[in-house]
Amino acid sequence: MKYLLSLCCLCLLGLARAQLPATYDPAFDARERERISAERAQAVQRYSGEEADCYQRFAVNDCLRDVRRQRRVALEELRRQEIILNDAQRAAIAVEQQRRIEQRQAERESSASQAERDAAAKEQAARVQDAQRRQAERAAVPPAGPGAAQSTPNAGAAAAAARRAEQQKAYEERQRRAEERRQEYERRQSQQGPRTSKPLPVPP
């Protein structure tokens, strides 16, 4: 009879274990832990009473062995259910941590992409301003007449000739000044007369 009662308890425990949800629910977890704690206390109390009854029988050792085996099976089943709850809780915590990490990463990527979009917009605005500036510079140049294509090479040659003439003139001016300085130096040297140097002292 007691063995049948134990089997019924195990069946009920198995059904309770089968009812564990696929996703973690804190309220369900709390209820299941309370149930497991209550059933554990009841099992300990019940099997303690049955052990006490065994001492009133003739085959004390066989009775104690059966009672302790049934208690061990019942407590191990409760422990397995508790482990399942612990695993579900750890998995839920891990999922929540992963979700937070992904959320932070998405926020960082969003801010980075926003910065990239701002930089691209600034670069585009700079390109537009540069294009407008070049267009304004081209508009400021007077339009070329019918003879502009013919006068452009002549104008460039004339400007180059003028530059060469200015450079030649500056070179000749530098040469003239250098010659004047050299003549002035020689004139001063000739006015001073020859220098007399003192004889070296005779060693003792």
* Cα Rg of the chain, angstroms: 55
Q: For residue 165, which amino acid is it?
A: A
Opening angle at CA 78, ends 76 and 81, nearest 5: 110
Q: Within a domain: residue 198?
A: no
Q: For residue 195, which amino acid is it?
A: R
| pLDDT tens by residue, 23-44 | 778 899 899 999 999 999 998 9
Number of domains composing the chain: 1
Burial of 81 per CB tally in 10 Å (0-12, 13-18, 19+): buried
| pLDDT tens by residue, 94-104 | 999 999 999 99
Q: Within a domain: residue 144?
A: no
Is 71:10 a contact under the CB 8 Å cutoff?
no
**Whether residue 120 has pLDDT greater than 60:** yes
Q: Within a domain: residue 136?
A: no
Q: In the numeric block, which tokens belong to residue 120? A: 């691209």
pLDDT at residue number 154:
64
Q: Within a domain: residue 142?
A: no
> Which range of residues forms the domain containing residue 11?
2-131
pLDDT at residue number 190:
82
| pLDDT tens by residue, 161-177 | 888 888 888 889 999 99
Contacts of 57 (CB under 8 A, 6+ apart): 63
Q: In the numeric block, which tokens belong to residue 139? A: 């508009």
Q: Within a domain: residue 197?
A: no
Is 43:78 a contact under the CB 8 Å cutoff?
yes
Q: Within a domain: residue 71?
A: yes
pLDDT at residue number 148:
46
Q: Within a domain: residue 194?
A: no
Q: Within a domain: residue 44?
A: yes
- Average pLDDT across the chain, whole number: 78
